[in-house]
Amino acid sequence: MIVILMSTSINVSLAQLKTSKHPNIIFFLVDDMGWQDTSVPFWDSVTTQNKKFQTPNMLRFAATAQKFTNAYANSICTPSRVSLMTGMDAGRHRVTNWTAFKNQAVDARDSVLQIPDWNVNGLSPYQEDPKSVYATPLPQLLKDNGYYTIQCGKAHFGAYETPGANPLNLGFVKNIGGSAAGNPASYLAEDDFGYDPKHFKLQADIPNMQQYWQTPTFLTEDLTVEAKKAMDTARIQHKPFFLYMAHYAVHLPYNADKRFIQKYLDEGYTKPEAAYCALLEGMDKSLGELLDYLKEHHLEKNTIVIFMSDNGGYSHRPREGKDNTQNYPLRGGKGSLYEGGVREPMMVRWPGVTRPATVSNQYVIIQDFFPTLLKMAEIKNYKTVQHVDGQSIIPYLKNPALKDDERELVWNFPNDWAGGDLGEDNSWLCSIRKGDWKLIYFEKYSRLELYNLAKDIREWNNVADKFPEKTQELAQLLTEKLKNEHAQMPTFRATGKLVPFPDEIFYSNKNSQ
């Protein structure tokens, strides 16, 4: 989830107000939040999930914002975060799975396919770092243009003991709780967030939060308190601020947030599901506190707010219900390239540009925020060492009815996320969307699936055989995009050869008929 805020201190003189051109920005990102895990409906009708989850502050925000119903990210956290910070497609930056320890891939071992040599060390601002993508990070550009840049919560940009693991190396001036950790060992401050001085845990590396140890608080609320303190510092210094508010919530572990969990237990949910609901409500309370902060300090009119998640909702145990049903009406969840793994809840409020309670159906993707935020911040003539794939979404903010059905979104996941334990749709995948059509290539099974999302958002009806010309078109486009980005593909263990590209599979299937 993402919130973008623009503000000016009430203590700044009128002269400073007139000359200031950079808005303050808060980027509020939720981890593992599903498309429908909110009271705010993102489909054309209200679902049972919208009634189940209680997010009153998201509802409050939605009444003032523009909603995007076709917003996307990657299916796994680190690829999305690197895309956000660089503006690059995952196929191009090659950080295609989540990162952990230096030079170590996290992929499960498959008996048929071998992962490529992907960038297991994540993002780096230094060219000489091996197994990393060298790029000019978004916060560095903001910092260079006068922003007080704050990282609060989950970073997970790079592997442990690499430059990218430390947000201060990427242009952030202040780091609150961010490291190589992809989730906390515990959300409970009374447990020191899982820290054990006798046994190292990467997940317990939540820096600059020790002041909360042995207190009866929850990580989500503690991060929110520290975020407001950091914004206070920026206001005192009369600097525009960029707050990257990236909550660990709602990622596992599903610790009980005592502020909210009891009512969900009383409604009959399992303990893990009740804890998940409480995690969401705690995240929502954090959003509300930030919105209240803006109002209290008279910052609302000069604040942009964007809400987003980094990948699809987790859809397996310990979540309640049958696997891959938690993101209804979407199929699949985190790790999958079905809609449940990549479609995200997204809203934008930009006073003076967006109109309250409006809706855009244009499909956009997380790397679009790189050029968008820089334009919002009125930063011009910037230079990056990387090619930026993201496109500004400002035209759709100015005119929510605008639609571009010729745009192509591409995903590449040549990795084994869970060793097949969570189903065949969570590994060895690439995909493309153009207009209402979406093609998924299952590399291990040499299978192409085609869906018309306007008619079949659930992706239940594979129409690849029914529409061979559309299948051919998208298979060729996907192949061209992958090759143009020098995207990696898995190889067969038995032969060492690359798996065929999508267009090769199409022609092979056609010739065998």
287 vs 299, residue with greater confidence: 287
**Same domain, yes or no, for 365 and 492?**
no
Higher pLDDT residue, 323 or 143? Answer: 143
Where does a domain end: 363, 398, 433? 398
Does residue 273 fall inside a structural domain? yes
Q: What is the 8-class DSSP label of residue 435? A: T
Residue 2 lies in a domain: no
Q: What is the pLDDT of residue 424?
A: 58
Q: Are residues 213 and 176 both part of a single domain?
A: yes
pLDDT at 510 over 60: yes
pLDDT of residue 65: 97
> How much is the average pLDDT of 307-322?
92
Q: Which alpha helices (H) appear in 46-191, and where do they start and end?
A: 48-52, 56-62, 77-86, 90-93, 138-144
Mean pLDDT of the chain: 94
Regarding whether 495 and 364 lie in a shared domain, the answer is no
My answer on whether 327 and 451 are in the same domain is no
pLDDT(3) > 50: no
pLDDT at 9: 40
Taking the C-alpha atoms of residue 443 and residue 513, their distance in angstroms, rounded to an integer, is 20
Q: What CATH code is carried by the domain that includes residue 446?
A: 3.30.1120.10
Residue 327, domain extent = 24-398
Q: What is the DSSP string of 226-262?
A: HHHHHHHHHHHTT--EEEEEE--TTSSP----TTTHH
Reply yes or no on whether the pLDDT at 121 is more than 50: yes
Domain co-membership, 430 together with 302: no
Mean pLDDT of 93-107: 98
Note whether residue 18 is domain-resident: no
- Same structural domain, 352 and 313: yes
Closest CA to 22 of 375, 383, 382: 375
Residues 85 and 215 in one domain: yes
All residues at 6 or more sequence positions from 151 whose CB lies less than 8 Å from its CB, including other chains: 139, 167, 172, 174, 175, 176, 178, 244, 246
Q: Are 315 and 428 part of one and the same domain?
A: no
- Of 398, 431, 449, the one marking the end of a domain is 398
Residue 7 in this model has a pLDDT that exceeds 70: no
Q: Which of 1-5, 17-21, 226-230 has the highest mean pLDDT?
A: 226-230
Residues 345 and 438 in one domain: no
Nearest to 386 by CA among 137, 172, 90: 137
For residue 4, pLDDT beyond 60:
no
Q: Is 281 a domain residue?
A: yes
Q: How confident is the model at residue 18 (pLDDT cuts 50, 70, 90)?
A: very low
Q: Examine the fold and report which residue of 398, 431, 453 is the final residue of a domain before the chain moves on.
A: 398
Structural domains in the chain (count): 2
Is the torsion defined by CA of 370, 375, 379, 382 positive or negative? positive
Residue 317 belongs to a domain: yes
> If you average pLDDT over residues 116-124, what whole number do you get?
99
Report pLDDT for 1: 45
pLDDT tens column, 160-219: 999 999 999 999 999 999 999 999 999 999 999 999 999 999 999 999 999 999 999 999
Look at strands 24-30 and 303-309 and give their pairing.
Answer: parallel
Residues 181, 102 share a domain: yes
Whether the pLDDT of residue 6 is over 60: the answer is: no
Of the candidates 209, 152, 217, the one whose C-alpha atom is nearest the C-alpha of residue 178 is: 152
Answer yes or no: is pLDDT of 301 > 60.
yes
Looking at residues 126-132, what average pLDDT do you find?
Answer: 96
pLDDT of 507: 85
CATH of the domain at 274: 3.40.720.10
Residue 75 CB partners (closer than 8 Å, separation 6+): 311, 312, 334, 335, 336, 337, 341, 342, 411, 413, 417, 429
CA distances from 368 to 115, 320, 362, 372 (A): 28, 34, 12, 6
Are 255 and 320 members of one domain? yes
Residue 457, pLDDT > 70, answer yes
Percent of the chain with pLDDT over 90: 89
% of residues, the chain, pLDDT over 70: 95
Is residue 197 one of the residues assigned to a domain? yes
Tokens of 158: 């790079």
* Per-residue confidence (pLDDT) for residue 14, from 0 to 100: 36
Q: Are residues 325 and 422 in the same domain?
A: no
pLDDT greater at residue 316 or residue 17: 316
The answer on pLDDT for 12 being more than 90 is no
pLDDT-based confidence at residue 450 (cuts at 50, 70, 90): very high
Write out pLDDT tens, residues 483-501. Answer: 999 999 999 999 999 999 9
pLDDT at 71: 99
How would residue 423 be classed by pLDDT, with cut points 50, 70 and 90? low
Does residue 16 form part of some domain? no
Burial class (CB in 10 A: 0-12, 13-18, 19+), 128: exposed
Lowest mean pLDDT segment, chosen from 2-16, 22-36, 42-56 = 2-16
- Which whole number is the average pLDDT over 306-318? 94
Say how far apart CA 123 and CA 180 lie, in whole Å.
11
Residue 250 lies in a domain: yes
**The two structure tokens encoding residue 246:** 């990236």
Reported as a pLDDT band with limits 50, 70 and 90, residue 19 is very low
